[in-house]
A and B are shown apart, each in its own frame.
Chain A
Amino acid sequence: MSTDIVSPAVARGPETGTVRLSINGQQRELAIEPRVSLLDALREHLGLTGSKKGCDQGTCGACTVWVDGRRVLACLTLAVTCEGREVTTIEGLSADGGLHPMQAAFVAQDAFQCGYCTPGQIMSAVALLREGHARDDDEIGEWMSGNICRCAAYPHIRAAIREVRDTGRGE
């Protein structure tokens, strides 16, 4: 998991300004302060509430999204630093409006209960397969440990990831 997003220096003050983001392939324009996190930009300003706020401190992973294809914690990422990058959220995971194979596997394996951590789990799980970090259960467990599931569906989350890994439909 990498959070080393480096943005070009832009001369801006602390005031509300226009921030242009590309989210799930759509260009969006927001009037926000530079201190607004990517997570709050998504949830409070763009109505994209699929990314969840669990801790707002980078410890729970419920806000996991992709920036330029890499998983990041949206609560620790300033929205303004995502200009010129592609942000992908759970709402953009499945292009055709159906379920992504990982989403279908989470349903089939009952890999959630309350569902609040689930979008973050799924964004991590898909990235995990792409990163090649799902060779066995130990590795899945280790690389999924940035996403807390307080309902503790963990064994089922591993089963869902195995299912997608073994059918080779992860992308």
Chain B
Amino acid sequence: MTGAIGQAIPRVDGPAKVTGTARYSGEVPLPDLAYAEIVGAGIASGRVTAIGTAAAEQAAGVVAVLTRRSMPKVAAVPLLPSLLGGPAPGETFFPMQDDVVHYAGQPVAIVVADTLEQARHAATLVAVSYAEDPSVTTIGQGRPSAYEPGTLFGGLMPARTERGSAADGLAAADLQVAAGFRFAANHHNALEALTTIATWDGDQLTLHDSCQGIKAVQLTVAALLGLSPSKIRVLTEYVGGAFGSKAMVWPHVTLTALAAQHVRRPVKLALPRGQMFTSCGHREEQEQHIELGATRDGRLTAIRHHKISLTSPFDDWAEPAFGVASQLYGCPNFEGVHRLVRGNTMTPTFTRAPGEAAGVFSLECAMDELAGQLGIDPIELRRRNLTEVDPNTGYPWSSYGLPECLEAGAARIGWDRRDPRPRSERDGNWLIGTGMAAAAYPVAFFMHTQRARAHMYADGTAIVQTAAQEFGTGAPTVMTQVAADGLGIDPGNVRFEFGDTDLPTSGSPVGSNGAMMVSSAVHNAATALRDQLITLAVTDEQSPLHGAGPAQVMVAGGRMTVTGSGPAGRGPAGETYTDLMQRHFMNDAEATGSWDPPPPDTPHGLLTFGAQFARVAVDADLGLVRVRHLAGAFAPGRVLNPVTARSQLMGGMLWGMSQALLEGTRMDTRLGRWANASLGDYLVPVNADAPEVDVDLIEVEDTVTGPLGVKGVGEVGQVGVAAAIANAVHHATGFRPRELPISVEHLLAALPPEQATASAGAARAR
């Protein structure tokens, strides 16, 4: 059956986005709106001894200056990831409750004024005095106090993953590879800053908030303020990018609500770009050490993978690095250990492909090195270690596709033409290399019940609703397609309504679960309404469908039919929803649908698989790395819309390129502050950095991940790209990158100087 699902339909919100009429959170017009500006701590550790507010309070337009003395006390709320569907504060610490400074930029005062300019200026007039203590802001500074936590993620995940004995497996190996890697901290830098508008009407709070999950915002603010969730409504349709920075609910949201309550006016807070580096988490600075053991014919005997990373003073947070690394290959012995250093930063958070982007980097760089030492083609080495079951549990994959992805990506990049020897290909003064890596990302069933509502009018048009929001994934588009097919009507007759906590609950689309969980609820709501109308038809004596079995009725284009039942030559018997509803004097019909995920211990291995290939050019004199071509192949279950799926995968792949070559937030340890907290100093890719990107989609049938068999595409696009690039850099130069982002300095030290002299002429000639 052909339907809307799987069709390359352009985004339904495209016209709104290209005309600038799509409304983001800071763009809601409200009368008497006041503007808030946060004053962040100027030290990284110590105490606030005094806050001089007089000058700010006397500045033109200032409505209030809030400090800890005017800030109500909030409840303590545990840190649990938003994918669980409950309150989800980004850190357990809440600012402006006492005088302790835990990290630079921590809110210590809030200025509210009539205009943005007045608020911003007055914030500079707030005089904060401190008693400063020495700070720890890097792993290096805190390494002696490193510890192994019991659990991560608010107790959800073990900090240690073990199967078999890595020590025994390494001892039994013919060959070992050991490598250490360093990863700079990363900041998401969604282009739309985190923004909150808070409005009180009596005890009823309305929030417009740039977030990944409006229900999480509602429940978090309710928990912190001790309010019933029924008193809080969050309205957010369009979000200008998130990438994990808006998955958790950060203190500024509740601070804005409290400021609005204090001044008895609507208050808007839009974080300035600089504060985006100290307000919504980051991917933590980390180091990983990996050891592989293998037999001479390339079978892995052991993987030992350790990580140490920096967390905040108050939360045991690390992005879990060993999900995919422990599952990708059928290796009998695995040991993964997270260790933490407490430092003076805010709690790190989810950043695109959390944990796996770094964990798979280490694994896949080490695999490339192992392939080189064994003299086995890197793809062949992966093939020899592929597994049909999750090696942690022995359960079969819910769906696989990795061998097909390896094949498709290899064809796309021209792998069979590759000379395996490093430094074997040149283009003028550029050293050319090709590298690859396997990729995967977990499918996690942590979410609660997902709900949606389908509402049809007698003219055959429908409104389908759920409390989702759109931050670039294409949710309104694919949910329109899913609803259309579920109802059996054209997508043009469906309006998908979202972005309001009063709508049926859907969880935060994080960890690549959005398409799976929301589409499941939408599908179930739409088919429930369809079945309701079919039941009405087959029991209606006036209907041509009367007496038919409901299961035999098909609906397409709003017309219900029973195949083979009609008079000869007149097509199948049937009637439209409109005929049926008008005959029954029905103005409309409605149904809700819900979906519960399988239990977390469902007997299946759950990963979305892919393969990444990169072709790079390295300037032989300058060490500059330019990516010439990226090719990825992915098996994300059912693809709801190849346009939006490809775009998200392409974006993820370019994020991987950026992780490899550009992104790093550097700490000024003297001040305990991020040294490059701007989009001018924190490098992200621009158009000229982005090569052409090929995305191949390998559809695999999955009967576990919801009624439609959708997995996800948000993260897997990024996983493995950095390793493919690092492996390509090695192929080009013979140098093995050990630090991300890879920089000119690393390569200059490794490029042979005679090479530079010999090739200078060629560079000019080019």
Seen from chain A, the residues whose Cβ lies within 8 Å of a Cβ on chain B are 33, 35-36, 40, 43-44, 47, 49-57, 59-60, 62, 89-91, 93-94, 99, 103-104, 106-108, 110, 112-119, 122, 138, 140-142, 144-158
What are 23 A-to-B residue pairs whose CB atoms are below 8 Å? A36-B117, A43-B26, A49-B23, A50-B19, A54-B192, A57-B273, A59-B679, A91-B19, A99-B19, A112-B18, A115-B16, A115-B17, A116-B192, A117-B191, A141-B687, A145-B688, A147-B687, A149-B687, A152-B655, A152-B658, A153-B647, A153-B650, A154-B685
- Give the contact stretch, choosing among B7-15, B73-81, B704-712: B7-15
Name the contact of A35 in the complex, choosing from B117, B193, B691 (C-beta under 8 A): B117
Q: Are B19 and A152 in contact (CB under 8 A)?
A: no
Known contacts A53-B270, A150-B684, A153-B651; A94 and B19 CB within 8 A of each other: yes
Question: Which of B16, B19, B648, B650 is most buried by chain A, counting CB atoms within 10 A of its CB?
Answer: B19
Interface status of B644 (Cβ within 8 A of chain A): yes
Give chain A residues whose Cβ lies under 8 Å from the Cβ of B241: 113-114, 116, 150-151
Known: A113-B473, A119-B19. 17 other contacts (CB 8 A): A40-B116, A50-B20, A52-B24, A55-B678, A56-B273, A57-B678, A59-B680, A110-B10, A110-B644, A113-B651, A117-B240, A140-B687, A147-B686, A152-B651, A152-B685, A153-B651, A154-B689
Chain B residues positioned under 8 Å from A93 (CB to CB) = 19
Expressed in whole angstroms, the minimum distance between the Cβ of B68 and any Cβ of chain A is 28
Instruction: Return the chain B residue nearest A47 by Cβ.
Output: B29
- Interface residues of B toward A: which range? 35 or more
Contact status A154-B18, CB under 8 Å: no
Bound: A89/B18 CA distance, A: 12
Q: How far is the CA of A99 from the CA of B693 in the complex (A)?
A: 28
Q: In the complex, which residues of chain B have a beta carbon less than 8 angstroms from the beta carbon of A52?
A: 20, 24, 191-192, 240
Query: Which of A90, A138, A151 has the most CB atoms of chain B within a 10 A radius of its CB?
Result: A151
How long is the Cα–Cα vector from A108 to B18 in the complex, in angstroms? 11
B743 on the A face (CB < 8 A): no
- Given A57-B680, A155-B690, are A103 and B11 neighbors across the interface (CB < 8 Å)? no
B20 near A49 with CB under 8 A, answer yes
Residue B267 at the A interface, CB < 8 A? no
Query: Of A33, A53, A56, A103, which one neighbours B115 at CB under 8 angstroms?
Result: A33
Docked complex Cα distance between A39 and B691 (Å): 32
Are B688 and A148 within 8 A (Cβ)? no
B692 contacts the other chain (CB 8 A): yes
Enumerate chain B residues within 8 angstroms of A142, measured Cβ to Cβ. Answer: 687-688
The answer to whether the Cβ of B522 comes within 8 Å of any Cβ in the partner chain is no
| Docked-complex contact A150 and B191, CB < 8 angstroms | yes
Shortest C-beta distance, B499 to chain A (Å), equals 14
How far is A157 from B686 in the complex, measured between Cα atoms in Å? Answer: 11
**CA of A33 to CA of B655, assembled, Å:** 40
Cβ contacts under 8 Å, A62 to chain B? 191
A115 to B117, CA, bound (A): 26
User: A167 to chain B: closest CB distance in Å?
Assistant: 17
**1/0 contact trace for B229-252 toward A, CB 8 Å?**
000000000111111000000000
